[in-house]
Amino acid sequence: MLPNATVVALLINPTNPRAAVQGREAQAAGRALGQEIHILNASTESEIETAFATFGQMRAAALVLVNDALFNSRLDQLAALAARRAIPAISPWREFAIAGGLMSYGIDGPDLYRQAAIFMGRILKGEKPANLPVQQSTKVELIVNLKTAKALGLTVPLSLLGRADEIIQ
């Protein structure tokens, strides 16, 4: 979406036990791609507002939201802040793109719940949880919000549109 982006911001909740790992992994991936990753921290609703205000000072081209309970419960607020500040942003949850965020890329929630229900059924039928195989969700989905892209003055490449599972007009 932004092939010339050299600076990207990552919104992390520092109270999340995985925050340090998320930051390190993102920065390592950024280095591999020739990008600089700036970390924005927010652990409260007011800190989210501050993080978005700070984004403009970083000269970052885009914002990546990590998977975190605080952020996941405020996807509408995050999408509205990104729109208000004209920030291209991506989240792992489809609801973010539906709420007006630029895009989402992450697990397919209903598929994840279906897999959980299958496991619960097996346990209720008497299988021991310790004997069940560890599984990860393998179905991911890309949602692109064309309305938001237009508002940001971005042209979505056809190659990206062709890969999208859903396009919001």
Q: What is the pLDDT of residue 143?
A: 96
Tens digits of residue pLDDT in 1-46: 888 889 999 999 999 998 999 999 999 999 999 999 999 999 998 9
CATH number of 7-108+139-168: 3.40.50.2300
Q: Where are the alpha helices (DSSP H) in the chain?
A: 19-32, 45-58, 69-72, 75-84, 94-98, 109-124, 146-151, 158-163
Tens digits of residue pLDDT in 68-103: 999 999 999 999 999 999 999 999 999 999 999 999
- Of residues 24 and 109, the one with the higher pLDDT is 24
Q: Where do the domains of the chain lie?
A: 7-108+139-168
Tens digits of residue pLDDT in 151-165: 999 999 999 999 999
- Do 90 and 116 contact (CB within 8 A), yes or no? no
Q: 112-120 contacts: CB < 8 A, separation 24 or more?
A: 112/137
The neighbouring-strand residues paired with 11 are 40, 65
- Of residues 135 and 35, the one with the higher pLDDT is 35
Query: Two tokens at 44?
Result: 């409260």
Q: What is the pLDDT of residue 126?
A: 94
